[in-house]
Every structure is written in C-alpha cells, then in structure tokens.
Copies of this chain bind each other. A is one copy, B any other.
Amino acid sequence: MSSPSIVNLACPVPLGSGDTVLLGHGSGGKLSADLMRDLFLPALGNPVLTRLNDQAVVPVGESRIAISTDSFVVKPLFFRGGDIGSLSVHGTVNDLAVGGAAPLYLSAAFLIEEGFSMESLRRIVASMRRAADASGVIVVTGDTKVVERGKGDGLFINTTGIGLISSDIELSADRAQPGDVILLSGSIGEHGIAILAEREGLEFESTIESDSAPLNGLCAAMLRASTAMRCMRDLTRGGLASALNEIAAQSHVGIELLESAIPVREEVRGACEMLGLDPLYVANEGKLIAIAAPDAAEDLLLAMRSHPQGAQAAVIGRVTASLPGLVTMKTPLGTARIVDMLAGDQLPRIC
C-alpha cells in the first residue's frame, strides 16, 4: 500500500513586519510560539519555564506544587454556558489539573474599565464563586485595578492557581513515545462557536453552549485508573490541533489522527462550515487529550467514560516515530493531511 498523499490545508496568515504585536500573537498558535521562543524565553528563560507546559511544577519545602496563570479577555463577558467569571476559574483549574495537580487555591485580579456596571461585576464574581465551589478551590487573594474609559474593555480577569502534585506523577508534553495512544475526552469546538455566535448575533438551528467546565475530577479519575499516562492537555486557544502540535514538537514524535474518530457535534460542524472554520482549531474550555501507553487505553477510556466530563471519550489517534514534529490526519477518503499549528488568530478573545 502506498502512503497517502499529504496536503497542507492550513491557511497562511501575513505575519506583519515583526516590529509590533499583532492580535495573532495572543492566539495560542504559531505567532504565540514565535513570541515565546524569540522574546520571552531568551529574556526570562530558566529550566522550569523552558519546559513550556501549561503549568510550572516546582518544589516548595517538601512538596511539589503546580502554578498556572491566565488572563481572560473573552468578549462578550456573558455567553451561553458561562461568563468570564466561571471561565476564569475553569481555565486555571484545568491547566493545573492536566498537569496532574490537585487545584487548591486561586488568586483573582480584576482589571476594570471606568464606568463598568457594578451589577455585571456582581454577577461575574458570584459566578466565580459558584465555579470555585464546584471545582473545590478557594480564592485566597485578589487585586483590583481600574483604568480610564477607553483604556480597557469592560473587564479583564487574571487568575493564578496553585495545586499540589503528588511525588509519583510525572506528566509532561515531552514524554510522548511512538506507539502511544491519544485519547480525547469529548466533542470539540463548542466553546469557540458559542462565543462567536454570541458575538456575531448568529442564531444556529440548535443553540450551542460553551463546554466550560472544571476537569480536575476527570483528571483525578484518570490518574487513579492508570500510571501509564505521558501527558494531558486541555484544549483551549488554538484547539485540538495546537495542543497536539505542541506535544509533537516537544516530544519529537509524529502524531496521526483518525478524522472519523474525533467527536464533533452536528451543530458545531454545521456552524464551522457556515463560518469557514475548522473545528480542530476552535477553542474548548472543558475538554482534554491524554497521551498514554497503548496497554493503558482500555482502563483510561473506562475511567473517562464513567465521569460526566468524559462520557464521550474516544481514542482518536496514535503517536508515531515517522514525521517527527508533524500532526497528520487520515480523512474518511483515505487521504492524509497535515494539521499544522494555527498561523494567525482564528478567533481573537475567545478566552
């Protein structure tokens, strides 16, 4: 059998002259990676930061802790399935959880534009509290800054989270090995489409909700089920494609996906077609992938499917020794295509 032809469908985006920051530098895609490699790492680099995981794992006293930070600039602030408050809790809780940590504490920093509605702030903070309670974390410290009208955009929130990570857990994006399987916890693209629908005033046949949810319960169940996981990643900015590209690059392996195995809800697929988007690149806020040794797949799938956040879990591909650094996908037609990193910014301010 001849190897399938490989077609690169990723759209190149003009990258600008490089002397100013572009929206795409915040996309979580190729420009974000360039900025990290060319500017942040040379200046701030150290062995922890350089690992480029979504969370840092560092020693404190006799313990190992995970630290993760995220600023949330989602627009609009309220959307079907959540708001910036719940999102800012889930996002950071999930970054800790996929590192194998039990999230414990959050800080919350509010950057408010003068004139912002006190009632909206109240609703958002109440939503943070509900999300924190549901995730089992507490907000232990905070900060509020106010900028003049026209110097912000309503409300931005930064959350930074601290989790405890047990000494025997070693998950990292550089640990994928040829032969490993790739597990996905559920259908993709819902958060990004929900935001876009809200923003553009689109009405889809069936209303699509953000999947924003805490994943720490699911991650804990997976860690109990198997000690053979290499890494987990939650699929936020840049979607499934970006997360897998990062793992392929950091582990120096190829990744081969089976398109038919990737769950995408019919409404999301329809909306993506209408909008010219590829669901592989659309953001999620309650989905993760795990890379694991093949003989662990069954136990992990069972554990995932027993958890509400993983009911639709599936094996969607495998790690290969060939084509290191590349993610490819077999289509139902039998061809294969390269699933590149997002070059620019498909959907700005999605989280």
Given contacts A40-B125, A43-B128, A126-B43, contact A109 B69 (CB under 8 A): yes
Does A324 touch B at the CB level, under 8 Å? Answer: no
- Residues in chain B near residue A118, CB distance under 8 A: 18-21, 39
Does A62 touch B at the CB level, under 8 Å? Answer: yes
A residues 39-75 near B (Cβ < 8 Å) are 39-40, 43-44, 46, 48-49, 55-56, 58, 60-63, 65, 67-73
A residues 15-31 near B (Cβ < 8 Å) are 18-27
Does A200 touch B at the CB level, under 8 Å? Answer: no
Does A138 touch B at the CB level, under 8 Å? Answer: yes
The size class of the interface chain A forms with chain B is 35 or more
- Residues in chain B near residue A117, CB distance under 8 A: 19-21
Q: Would you give the shortest CB distance from A31 to chain B, in whole angstroms?
A: 9
Contact residue among B27, B114, B142 (Cβ-Cβ distance under 8 Å from A40): B142
How many identical subunits does the complex contain? 2
A21 touches B112 (CB 8 A): yes
A349 touches B68 (CB 8 A): no
Does A143 touch B at the CB level, under 8 Å? Answer: yes
Q: A22 CA to B113 CA in the complex, in Å?
A: 8
Given contacts A39-B118, A44-B129, A60-B164, contact A146 B348 (CB under 8 A): yes
Contact residue among B21, B35, B61, B143 (Cβ-Cβ distance under 8 Å from A115): B21
Name which residue of chain B comes closest to A116, CB basis: B21
Contact residue among B25, B27, B67, B112 (Cβ-Cβ distance under 8 Å from A25): B112
12 pairs, A vs B, C-beta closer than 8 Å: A20-B116, A21-B116, A39-B118, A44-B128, A49-B138, A61-B63, A65-B162, A69-B141, A69-B160, A71-B111, A71-B145, A160-B160
